Amino acid sequence: MQEKLLEKFKELFGADGEIRTYFAPGRVNMIGEHTDYNGGHVFPCALTIGTYGVVRKREDNKLRFYSMNFEHLGIIESSLDDLKPDPAADWTNYPKGVIWAFGEKGMKITQGMDLLLFGNIPNGSGLSSSASVEVLTGYILKDFYGCDVTNQDIALIGQFSENKFNGVNCGIMDQFAIAMGKKGHAIFLDTATLEYEYAPIELKDAKIVISCSNKKRGLGDSKYNERREECEKALEEIQQYVGIKSLGDLTEEEFEKFKSAIKDEDRVKRARHAVYENQRTIKAVEALKNNDVELFGKLMNESHVSLRDDYEVTGIELDTLAEEAWKVEGVIGSRMTGAGFGGCSVSIVKNDAVDTFIEQVGKAYKEKIGYAADFYVVEIGDGPVRLA
């Protein structure tokens, strides 16, 4: 893979100078969805699929970007003097946003770059291809450009750039999971405090299977920001009666006690999901620590139902993937993962049921939706790394 990317880089940009190769993973969230901007807990892990980058510093201020996933776009050029979001710049708004954000944080980049990317994360799948590109860019600026940042800083700067440069009001989870990934572990992260612990995922006789709906979604133009606003409004209404900083501060019992403060039924549902999902995530991690994978799976299923009925971010594609998964013997748990409105589901499937799962769910999905889903048996990997 690396040789092929290097060859393409040299063909496009020439072979002079020091050329380095990097990798940043994608991520999947096992449980804890739409809790990260509500001050709750999440439980994501980095994957062994992700984004490769081949890069060389330039002597001038030019930025030249090329993606092997979007070859029809060719080389997209801009400059360090022109770091502003531009629809015509397409995917390059993500690395540009990170370079801009480093400057905003007092680390102005004064040398341009030639950057070739290749991602083996399905585009639009909800496995965080955009955050993967952001963390990759941040790691390049740390390692190659000498910026004095930790991987946790890279996560925060990536989130800042997505919020302020690309206009997506995302939480911290995606960038954090990618920047801080650890092989064989998921990250139990309190998004309110950024306190975290690594929890081993020991599935023994089971695998994690990602089912990609192949329904593309764009976060910025989805209902993502709308959901966030609904939760913020619900929080304001509850705060008139109880001193909390976020919905993640409430237990289920406290929510039921104060929910009458919320003046709109839709906002009640959104807030109920945020509170109950946070508590489910805490219980799920406890279940894993007790080697109770069955309970973990049950909580995954409950998470999907809440995302479907209370948060209303699933849609027919993700509902079909989850509901068909629940029918297969040997499926421990299955739920949508990511922002929703398309993207993927994540399932824990016993080893001897994986082939049946892919066949049965795939057949039912195609019959109902009209096009095929893709399936990936994935492994949990490390965070960003320099390869060469």
Give the residue numbers annotated as catalytic, written as ranges.
174
- In 180-278, DSSP assigns E strands to 185-190, 195-200, 206-212
Would you list the DSSP string of 32-77? --S-GGGT-EE-EEEEEEEEEEEEEE-SSSEEEEEETTSGGG--EE
The whole-angstrom separation of Cα 73 and Cα 163 is: 25
Distances from the Cα of 300 to the Cα of 43, 112, 200, 220, angstroms: 11, 45, 17, 26
25: closest CA among 155, 146, 144, 115? Answer: 155
Which residues does residue 236 pair with via DSSP β-bridges, in sequence order?
Answer: none
Q: Which two tokens stand for residue 203?
A: 């599935």
Q: Which helix (H) or strand (E) holds 307?
A: helix 293-309
Distances from the Cα of 68 to the Cα of 117, 119, 360, angstroms: 6, 8, 33
Q: How many residues does the chain have?
A: 388
Which amino acid would we find at residue 331?
A: V
Is-contact 244 238, C-beta < 8 A?
Answer: yes
